């Protein structure tokens, strides 16, 4: 079995042109492990700058551009939204969908997230499907129920076979931007549940889906986290805004 390791940078609503240039320069000569991909997801205004760097081959072939969000619609009167066809014009290969901030702040339901996954897949863009539980949900032992309720609508919408073409990112909401991190054992236990849940529908597909951990990953804890059997990389927030720290995290990924 071979699963690619993926380390994705989610800048959220941070960054500027200086950071874009620093990131391009910093990653222009990075030597990643053979089975590792890096995805950089800046805010929409900076996609064009990264796109130019990708097209000019200023970045290695295994460093990709991603978007933080996408509409489930293809065009029309949807002010402020961005379609998959627009993203593809800027060399976007991945898109984050269902991030906990989109679910909590903007009330995106798991059904809407499933529609976005479908739109991305149909456009040939790889979705990074985010799932995760709150601190109170973990405290009341609802983690597995919550994760299943977020995964099942996507399975129902696109079919389990489509998971061969997407990435799942587990982000415990209580560990995002808080400095709190699940222990490597706790994170592995949850990732194992996710893979086993998918395996109920298709064991072969489940074995190949890259599972990322996203909860205050940094250069200090990334190697131990990525060494776990079912953790194939990370969705990195704050640490992805620091070029050298993000590089160190990327270099800690080895693939399986």
Residues 114-132: b if buried by 16+ CB within 10 A, e if exposed: bbbbbbbbebebbbbbbbb
- Res. 112 pLDDT band, cuts 50 70 90: very high
pTM over 0.75: yes
Region 6-14: what's the mean pLDDT?
98
With bands split at pLDDT 50, 70 and 90, how would you rate the model's confidence at 58? very high
Would the pLDDT of 215 be above 60?
yes
For residues 102-129, average pLDDT: 98
pLDDT given for residue 148 in this prediction = 98
pLDDT band at 86 (very low <50, low <70, confident <90, very high): very high
User: What is the per-residue pLDDT across 14-24, written as a single tens digit (0 to 9) for each?
Assistant: 999 999 999 99
- Residue 57, annotated as binding a ligand: no
- In a 3-state reduction of DSSP, which class is residue 25? helix
Distance CA 241, CA 248 (A): 12
Residue 216 counted as an annotated binding residue: yes
* Residue of 119, 135, 223, 210 whose CA lies nearest to 167: 210
| Dihedral sign from CA coordinates of 215, 217, 221, 226 | positive
- For residue 64, what is the DSSP state? E
Question: Is the predicted pLDDT of residue 180 greater than 90, yes or no?
Answer: no
Contact 68, 41 (CB under 8 A): yes
Looking at the DSSP assignment, which residues form a beta bridge with residue 244?
A: none
pLDDT higher than 70, residue 178: no
- Phi first, then psi: give them for residue 42, nearest 5 degrees: -85, 175
For residues 80-98, give the mean pLDDT.
98
For residue 237, say whether it is annotated as part of any ligand binding site. yes
Of 1 and 17, the one with more pLDDT: 17
Task: Tell me if 14 is assigned to a ligand binding site.
Answer: no
Name the β-bridge partners of 37: 6
Element (H or E) spanning 56, and its range?
none
Question: Region 1-21: what's the mean pLDDT?
Answer: 94
Confidence of residue 1 (pLDDT cuts 50, 70, 90): low
What local confidence, expressed as pLDDT, does residue 181 receive? Answer: 67
CA 231 from chain center: how many Å? 12
| Residue 215 known to bind ligand | no
- The mean predicted confidence, pLDDT, of the chain is 95
177 annotated as belonging to a binding site for a ligand: yes
Please choose, from the candidates 173, 210, 182, 185, the residue with its C-alpha nearest in 3D space to the C-alpha of residue 195.
210
Q: How far apart are CA 6 and CA 232, in angstroms?
A: 7
* CA atoms of 147 and 198, how far apart (whole Å): 11
pLDDT (average), residues 78-92? 97
Domains observed in the chain: 5-252 (3.20.20.70)
Percent of the chain with pLDDT over 90: 89
Determine phi and psi for 12, rounding to 5 degrees. 55, -145
Residues facing 92 on adjacent strands: 65
So what's the pLDDT on residue 173?
84
**All residues at 6 or more sequence positions from 140 whose CB lies less than 8 Å from its CB, including other chains:** none
Alpha carbons within 13 angstroms on the beta-carbon side of residue 46 total 24
Q: With contact defined as beta carbons under 8 Å apart, do 90 and 130 qualify?
A: no
Percentage, residues of the chain above pLDDT 70: 97
Q: Which residues contact 207 (CB under 8 A, 6 or more apart)?
A: 1, 3, 195, 199
Q: What is the tens place of the pLDDT at every residue in 143-158? A: 999 999 999 999 999 9
**Residues known to be catalytic:** 99, 171
> 14-57: per-residue pLDDT in tens?
999 999 999 999 999 999 988 999 999 999 999 999 999 999 99
Residue 159 assigned as binding residue = no
Band the pLDDT of 216: cuts 50, 70, 90. Answer: confident
Provide mean pLDDT across the span 91-98.
98
């Amino acid at each position: 079995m071979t699963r690619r390791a993926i380390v994705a940078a989610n800048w959220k609503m941070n960054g500027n042109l200086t950071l874009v240039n620093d990131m391009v320069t910093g990653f222009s000569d990075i030597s990643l492990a053979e089975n590792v991909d890096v995805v950089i997801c800046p805010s929409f205004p900076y996609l064009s700058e990264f796109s130019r760097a990708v097209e000019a081959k200023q970045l290695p072939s295994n460093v990709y551009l991603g978007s933080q969000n996408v509409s489930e619609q293809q065009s029309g009167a949807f002010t402020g939204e961005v379609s998959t066809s627009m993203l593809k014009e800027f060399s976007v290969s991945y898109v984050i969908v269902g991030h906990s901030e989109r679910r909590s702040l903007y009330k995106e339901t798991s059904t809407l997230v499933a529609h976005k996954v479908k739109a991305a897949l149909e456009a040939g863009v790889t979705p990074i499907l985010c799932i995760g539980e709150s601190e109170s949900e973990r405290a009341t032992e609802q983690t597995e129920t919550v994760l299943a309720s977020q995964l099942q609508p996507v399975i129902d919408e696109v079919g389990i076979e489509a998971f061969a073409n997407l990435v799942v990112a587990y982000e415990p909401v209580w560990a995002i931007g808080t400095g709190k991190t699940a222990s490597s054992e706790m994170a592995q236990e949850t990732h194992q549940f996710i893979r086993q849940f998918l395996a109920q529908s298709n064991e072969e597909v489940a074995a190949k889906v890259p599972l990322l951990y996203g909860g205050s990953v940094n250069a200090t804890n990334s190697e131990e986290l990525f060494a776990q059997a079912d953790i194939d990389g990370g969705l990195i927030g704050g640490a992805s805004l620091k070029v050298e720290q993000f590089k160190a995290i990327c270099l800690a990924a080895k693939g399986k």
